[in-house]
Structure 1
Amino acid sequence: MTLLHLATFAFWALIGFAVVNALCTTFTLVALFRHRRERSDDRELPRVAILLCLRGADPQLAGGLQRLMNQQYPDYEIFIVIDSEADPAWGVVKQGVDDTGGKSAACRVHISTLRQRLETCSLKCSSLVQLLDQIDDSFEVVVLADSDLESHPTWLRELVAPLDDPRVGAAFGNRWFLPTVGWMGSLVRQVCNAIGVVTMHLGQIPWGGSLAIRASVVKESGLRETLTRSIVDDGPVRVALREQGLKLQFVPSLLMANREDCDLRFAHNFLTRQLKWTQTYMSSQWPIMLVYTLGVLGIYMVTLVLAIVCTLVGYHEEAFGFVVGSAIYSGTVMTLWFLLDVAARRIIRAQGEPVPGFIGVQLLKLPIAMLLAVVIHVSAMVRATVLRRVIWRGVTYEVLGPKEVSLLNEEAMETSLESANVSL
């Protein structure tokens, strides 16, 4: 194959990949731009138990807890398990609850420490098992929330609204990173997260940081027992719903802002861990996802290199093919990302939350961040495929399959989490 033939192949391959990406992203864009904030009448709202598992004090924990305690919802309670009384989250939570004096909060809050650290699952799943044992049959919906969630007053109403449909077993939101400082790692994670939002929407992959599940699904699926052998909570929920023939619904109005910054190393580790969870619970689809991603990004990177080489040695016709192909693909990806970002910011503003401007230094860094995101995404996917040991919040786990998890060792959480570099 001559360089000209290779340039022609690369051109049409990248055009094809651009079209596929555009079609996939369009479905998510339509959902985001057409979002409506669903809110049921008070008389129709089910009783809700919000479950919150804490290990370490995230930077936004105090504010996030206050938001959870003041939802515009008539009947809900919050159940919290903290790693231990020595954990920095203990003081933050106790102070937050004590400050309300039970007067300003719209709900009751139950606080306990983790009593049994199961060695066959993550500490988060151990906490969830304990919490599920605490709630009684009066609760119709179980809601999972993350410690870094910054909910708005109607978050809970919007999250449970899809459950009015008996065919829907669970509903979930997602996160959109809006870093305040704009470190390169933050921008790379922001770009990669867009891929995740589209993939999770199309593949019906829930985010456990904002997830409402029918209590009947939890009981009938044996989810409690499944969690005793799981590394995360959202993957087993997806499996349970599929087995029961129920729908999992994405709630576009609950695209939640995450404003934490991180460096490149953390962005790579974070993405690797997220992809490892996907690989664990979507093992049958993972080879297709891996081959497609490596194919797209591999051809793209080779095309960029050949475009530069051909330009330098004077092969102008070949260079033109490589340049145009990579330019069209780059332009398409960047345009799709900007449209997603516009839609996300529009939703976050509708929640009454502040949205930082996207100008100046951050905008100038974005092209570099997108190129770095290509490299980091490929590296994270390959690493997630072969990775067997995962470090998560100071705990080392061995993950061999969806029900083959071992807790190997853990470090004490003696200081508060000072940045996103250890919070997720």
Structure 2
Amino acid sequence: MLLLMATIAFWALFGFAAVNALSTAFTLAALIWHRSEESDDGMLPKVAVLMCLRGADPNLAGGLRRLMHQRYPNYEIFIAVDSETDPAWDIVKQTISPESVLDATIDQPAACTVHASTLRNRLTTCSLKCSSLVQLLDEIDDSFEVVVLADSDLESHSSWLRELVAPLADPTVGATFGNRWFLPTIGSMGSLVRQVCNGIGVVTMHLGQIPWGGSLAIRASVVNQSGLRQTLARSIVDDGPVRVAMKKQGLKLRFVPSLMMANREDCDLRFAHSFLTRQLKWTKTYMADWWPAMLMYTLGVLGTYIAAIVLSLACLQQGLRSEAFWFAAGAAVYSVTVMTLWLLLDLAARRIIRAQGESTPNMLGPQLLKVPVAMLLSVFVHISAMIRATFLRSVVWRGVTYEVHGPSDVQLLDDRMPEVSLETPNVSL
């Protein structure tokens, strides 16, 4: 009987590995064989870049300067900062001041106008980020043809905006998006676990056409016709409602592979778990129809994998070598497949980031030796985060507590500025 269980576990894990390989292959193909799209200056629409800030991200000033020096002919930046006491406010004022507009590192004047204001109306029916977006959408006029959302930690390259907007030349495309790839500089275990889990997220978002709000372009006409502004006033995040709006309008969401953006922040395991739980909570909220299947598949795969490892050790201890072999073989096949797929994704993402003119840390170092441990640990972190996201109602995001009961049922509970200005990852070696 135990031998039969071991054989079934082997073929189940072999099948799961095959499914993962097939699904990852589509994303790998997009990353490896992509072509950067750029249009002539005369064909590019007028763009409003919206940025919402709460807390001072480590490289906020540098990221803002990069946005101000895009190789794009006609765009403006609109910034909403949480309050005048927020540390981001002084950084923004200093960065966009006339004395700082001429960037010494780039040696050219800013390519756009920047509008900065503080958040005036703190809605209690949505997140503070969505409150800021509602305010900024009210500030832009009808001359803007495209609305672009940029996260505070985005480190864009000079052609980022052109590449993001170019696919909108296709009238069937309503929105375009890039994604992030974590490249931690120190390589703590928490950072590596988040990096591994993010690889799964990139594949899922590509296949499910789930946009990333940190680098997202939307047709202004879609924003107006879909009532996106009103939807955001009742939402916890921005990207989920955009996906819904595109589906309602019958338009495509286009992933732009050349816009895999590097994120170099390190974090500890606690922060990685919190980050992943929050991301999965957003997925459950806006993809409720998919969530049961996603939950059952994930628990089935990872539960079988953990059981195979535990049972192989138990069988080996009892001298049941055949049973131990089949349990271990299944776990090994799945482990090697997942590790190979992640390494291929990492290589492809690094290649894209280097093509942007950005540096990437050396892959052949101490971090690589930690990856197998991080992958095993990520199994437990992923299961824990997914179960917690299923039942979680109260979410803490950047020091603010929200209750989230559905895509349009959000309540802001606690809006006190924390002692630490930003939910900053703590490094744990």
After TM superposition, the score normalised by the length of structure 1 is 0.98
Aligned residues of 2:315 and 2:323 also touching (Cα < 8 A): yes
Distance 1:414 1:320, change over 3 A: closer
1:227 equivalent to 2:226? Answer no
- Deviations 1:18-39 (CA, angstroms, capped at 9, x unpaired): 0000000000000000111111
> Paired residue for 1:307?
312
Aligned residues of 1:39 and 1:157 also touching (Cα < 8 A): yes
> Paired residue for 1:190?
195
> Paired residue for 1:365?
370
- Deviations 1:158-204 (CA, angstroms, capped at 9, x unpaired): 00011000000000000000000001000000000000000000000
Aligned residues of 2:47 and 2:76 also touching (Cα < 8 A): yes
Distance 1:240 1:209, change over 3 A: same
Letter aligned with residue 26 of structure 1: A
Q: How does 1:9-88 map to 2 (within 5 A)?
A: 9-88=8-87
Q: Give me the whole-angstrom Cα distance separating, in 1, the residues matched to 2:15 and 2:416.
A: 48
- In structure 1, stretches of 5+ residues that fail to align are none
After TM superposition, the score normalised by the length of structure 2 is 0.97
Q: CA deviation at 1:364?
A: 1.2
SS in 2 for 1:352: coil
1:200 equivalent to 2:205? Answer yes
Aligned residues of 1:275 and 1:384 also touching (Cα < 8 A): yes
Q: Give me the whole-angstrom Cα distance separating, in 1, the residues matched to 2:423 and 2:6.
A: 49
> Paired residue for 1:136?
141
Q: Give me the whole-angstrom Cα distance separating, in 2, the residues matched to 1:390 and 1:302.
A: 31
Q: CA deviation at 1:417?
A: 3.5
- Out of 84, 97, 116, the residue aligned to residue 111 of structure 1 is 116
Q: Give me the whole-angstrom Cα distance separating, in 2, the residues matched to 1:304 and 1:95.
A: 55
Q: How does 1:18-417 map to 2 (within 5 A)?
A: 18-98=17-97, 99-101=99-101, 104-413=109-418, 415-417=420-422
RMSD: 1.2
Q: Give me the whole-angstrom Cα distance separating, in 2, the residues matched to 1:308 and 1:40.
A: 58
Q: Give me the whole-angstrom Cα distance separating, in 2, the residues matched to 1:414 and 1:312.
A: 52
Q: Give me the whole-angstrom Cα distance separating, in 2, the residues matched to 1:418 and 1:226.
A: 26
Q: CA deviation at 1:412?
A: 1.3
Letter aligned with residue 35 of structure 1: H
Letter aligned with residue 137 of structure 1: D
Q: CA deviation at 1:100?
A: 2.9
Aligned residues of 2:54 and 2:81 also touching (Cα < 8 A): yes
Aligned residues of 1:59 and 1:418 also touching (Cα < 8 A): no
Q: CA deviation at 1:415?
A: 4.9
Q: Give me the whole-angstrom Cα distance separating, in 2, the residues matched to 1:419 and 1:130.
A: 26
Larger CA deviation: 26-35 vs 96-105: 96-105
> Paired residue for 2:105?
none
Q: CA deviation at 1:261?
A: 0.1
Q: Indicate the percent of aligned positions where both proteins have the same amino acid.
A: 72
Q: Give me the whole-angstrom Cα distance separating, in 2, the residues matched to 1:150 and 1:420.
A: 18
SS in 2 for 1:420: coil
- Deviations 1:88-145 (CA, angstroms, capped at 9, x unpaired): 0001111111143477111000000000000000000000000000000000000000
- In structure 2, stretches of 5+ residues that fail to align are 103-107
SS in 2 for 1:174: strand
